[in-house]
């Protein structure tokens, strides 16, 4: 069983931005996306702050977010990257399996990447992620680089109040899927 020791607010900025975006999408009746809680068993709790400081994961989590966009099932995981090279070790096999199964059921799976040094968000389609994953599993590079990414899936910052406009990525993804279905 894996153990977890709190290391503060790791990744909380990206998560908070996505959570606020999800609230905006819900308020506008565009999407209903929920954060998937990671199932843990607390072992140590700081009595003063009432924070969990040591816990065991009960089971492997699937993805960070799941829900529906205009009736389409959607799941995604959010990942931060400090450099222009994203290690495939940051994607876990059980996540790839879950996303594959989700796609087979007619849903849309993707990774939402945040390149922190560039302050850029990227919508990584499941199909593209799987290509990188398979390459790494078959003896190829164990990472993918910023320059390998399709530029049309970078999520532009617009004047809107939406912090992480991932619906733009979903729309482009759907257009590609529709064109392949024809």
Q: Where are the alpha helices (DSSP H) in the chain?
A: 12-27, 93-104, 126-137, 166-181
Residues in the chain: 182
Cβ 81 vs Cβ 113: under 8 Å: yes
Q: How many alpha carbons lie under 13 Å from residue 48 in its C-beta half-sphere? A: 0
Cβ 58 vs Cβ 42: under 8 Å: no
Q: Locate 142 and state its tokens.
A: 């164990």
62 is in an annotated binding site: yes
What pLDDT shows up at residue 6? 40
Cα gap 93→59, rounded to integer Å: 14
27 is in an annotated binding site: no
Tens-digit pLDDT string for the chain (182 aa): 444 344 433 446 889 999 999 999 999 999 999 998 766 666 677 778 877 676 555 556 689 999 999 999 999 999 999 999 999 999 999 999 999 999 999 999 999 999 999 999 999 999 999 999 999 999 999 999 999 999 999 998 776 778 899 999 999 999 999 998 77
Average pLDDT, the chain: 87
According to DSSP, the residues that pair with 113 across neighbouring strands are 79, 122
The position carrying tokens 């389609």 is 125
What pLDDT shows up at residue 52? 67
According to DSSP, the residues that pair with 4 across neighbouring strands are 55
What pLDDT shows up at residue 42? 64
What pLDDT shows up at residue 10? 45
Helix (H) or strand (E) run with residue 65 in it:
strand 65-69
64 is in an annotated binding site: yes
Cα gap 7→43, rounded to integer Å: 15
What pLDDT shows up at residue 123? 98
Structural domains of the chain ordered from first start: 3-181 (3.40.1350.10)
95 is in an annotated binding site: yes
Cβ 153 vs Cβ 123: under 8 Å: yes
Q: Locate 159 and state its tokens.
A: 């004047």
What pLDDT shows up at residue 45? 76
């Amino acid at each position: 069983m894996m153990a977890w020791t709190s290391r503060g607010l790791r990744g909380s900025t990206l998560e908070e931005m996505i959570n606020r975006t999800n609230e905006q999408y819900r308020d506008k009746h565009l999407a209903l996306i929920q954060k998937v809680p990671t199932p843990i068993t607390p072992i140590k709790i700081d009595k003063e702050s009432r924070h969990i400081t040591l816990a065991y994961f009960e089971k492997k989590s699937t993805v960070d977010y799941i829900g529906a966009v205009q009736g389409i099932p959607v799941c995604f995981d959010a990942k931060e990257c400090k450099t222009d090279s994203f290690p495939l070790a940051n994607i876990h096999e059980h996540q790839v399996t879950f996303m594959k199964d989700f796609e087979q059921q007619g849903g849309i799976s993707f990774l939402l990447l945040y390149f922190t040094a560039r302050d850029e968000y990227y919508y990584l389609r499941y199909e593209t992620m799987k290509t990188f994953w398979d390459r790494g599993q078959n003896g190829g590079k164990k990472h993918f680089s910023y320059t390998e990414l399709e530029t049309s899936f970078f999520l532009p910052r617009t004047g809107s109040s939406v912090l992480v406009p991932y619906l733009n990525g979903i729309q482009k993804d759907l257009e590609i899927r529709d064109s392949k279905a024809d």
